[in-house]
Amino acid sequence: MDLVLWRTFTIIFSVEFIIGTLGNGFIVLMKCTDWIKGSKLSFVDQILIGLAISRTGLIWLIFLDWWLFMLYPILHMTEKMLRMYYISWTVLNHLNLWLTASLSIFYFLKIANFYKTIFLYLKFRVKKVIAVTLLVSLLILILNIIIIKIYVDMCIVGAQRNVSYTSSMNNYEQSCKLLAFTNPMFTLIPFGMSLTTLLLLIFSLWKHLKNTQHSMKDSRDISSMAHIKALQTVIVSVLLYSIFFLSFFMKVWGKSWKDKYFFSLCAWALGIAVLSGHSFVLIQGNNRLRWAWRSVMLWFRCRFKSAEP
């Protein structure tokens, strides 16, 4: 049964890894190609490039973590590997979440319609708002790294008192629990920001539709369509990252080793699936990327048809 499970998840991980790398790589390639050709990168383009790079790094890190866990479990639980993994995970996950939150803030400030003074002030300074947000996030990242390093060092010191394999397994499980219950203290901040922008966008769309009904205008105007398009992107982002958080809590739910083995496999699969799937959500939400992706798919379809006898 374990062999069947291992082979099944190996296929799943491999497919997700390839799809995620191609999807995020496509975003970086297209934006960098436009920049090389002389097109100026917009603020959203810069955020998308940062997101794609951080997600590619996370996909490779999760895939490497699974690969070492399955093939080299002793190496996977060494002192050096634990430090490298958790610090790398903290940095890449932080960049991923805060850039996603910045993208949500950008959509909210650009599309939402509120006539409060503070909103209008922020709306005309959207780049400065996001720049300050990312600057504050760097301070949070430094604090997060310090706390993670302290927890990992505590686990390592405890494991050094007993160098047995059982102690190493307990060391790994304890560090997983510390990561699972420490990271949310920091990751819930950008997640909460994305959720708040989602609710405000919904409220803005509701007010806009209400005003258009009173003025007897067509409800499918440009502003409404822009609201709906932004909502689709933000809703999927919030939903996927809810699954992303859930996947890493699954690692600490199982009580027996067999449960932990299964939950770890599911956590890795869900984590890579979210990082891979969301890249295609961003591609569909960007006109330039969507057009380029469809052109590539059409080219491949024509190539396959011409290759058929």
Q: 102 exposed, middle or buried (CB, 10 Å; 0-12, 13-18, 19+)? A: buried
Residue 112 inside a domain? The answer is yes
Alpha carbon distance 235, 204 (integer Å): 15
Alpha carbon distance 260, 256 (integer Å): 6
Per the structure block, which two tokens stand in for 249? 């809590």
Residue 300 inside a domain? The answer is no
The CATH number of the domain holding residue 272 is: 1.20.1070.10
Residue 140 inside a domain? The answer is no
Residue 194 inside a domain? The answer is yes
Looking at per-residue pLDDT, the higher value among 86 and 172 belongs to: 86
Confidence of residue 181 (pLDDT cuts 50, 70, 90): low
Looking at per-residue pLDDT, the higher value among 52 and 268 belongs to: 52
Of the candidates 154, 169, 145, the one whose C-alpha atom is nearest the C-alpha of residue 78 is 169
DSSP 3-state of 297:
helix
Q: What is the pTM of this model?
A: 0.82
Residue 72 inside a domain? The answer is yes
Alpha carbon distance 232, 226 (integer Å): 10
Q: What is the pLDDT of residues 118-128, one digit of tens each?
A: 888 888 889 99
Residue 28 inside a domain? The answer is yes
Confidence of residue 165 (pLDDT cuts 50, 70, 90): very low
Per the structure block, which two tokens stand in for 142? 């430094």
Confidence of residue 157 (pLDDT cuts 50, 70, 90): low
Domain that includes residue 204, residue range:
2-78+94-126+188-289
**Helices 2-36 + 287-307 axis angle, to 10:** 110
Residue 302 inside a domain? The answer is no
Contact 138, 228 (CB under 8 A): no
* Helix (H), strand (E) at residue 247: helix 222-249
Give the chain's domain count. 1
Proportion of the chain above pLDDT 70, given as a percent? 76
Q: What is the pLDDT of residues 208-262, one digit of tens each?
A: 777 766 554 554 566 667 667 777 777 777 777 777 667 666 655 554 445 566 7
Residue 169 inside a domain? The answer is no
Range in 33-47, 55-69, 151-165 with the lowest mean pLDDT: 151-165
Alpha carbon distance 166, 173 (integer Å): 11
